[in-house]
Amino acid sequence: MLASEPAQDSSVLTVSGLTKAIRGVLEDAFLDVTVEGEISNFVDHRSGHRYWTLKDSEAQISCVFWKTRFANFDIRDGMKVVCRGRLTVYPPRGNYQLDVFQLRPSGIGEL
């Protein structure tokens, strides 16, 4: 082997291999979570899906609400909400998000 050739190490993961492993751990561990926070960056996509960032004063998480799901109120930036859903990983970007299947208002956000 030439000095410029990388050593073959079976413990080295590909990016997609690592992302798949993370996806398996996260999605199995967080099948049903309830989270309260404030909506920001709300997008009502032309596809019918809705996307937003759920945040508090110290952290944020991306959320998706598929068009087949129904909210009995208008979703808006600045609303405080309680989201029930599951964590999912979007492999092409390596991002995790909350796949929301239930949503209810909880007041006006402080942020």
Short-list 89, 29, 23, CA closest to 62: 89
Give pTM, 2 decimals: 0.81
Which tens digits make up the pLDDT trace of 65-111? Answer: 998 888 888 999 999 999 999 999 999 999 999 999 999 999 765 65
Kindly report, residue by residue over 14-71, the tens digit of the pLDDT. Answer: 999 999 999 999 999 999 999 999 999 999 988 989 999 999 999 999 999 998 888 8
Could you tell me which residues come within 8 angstroms of residue 71 by beta carbon, excluding any fewer than 6 positions away? Answer: 65, 103
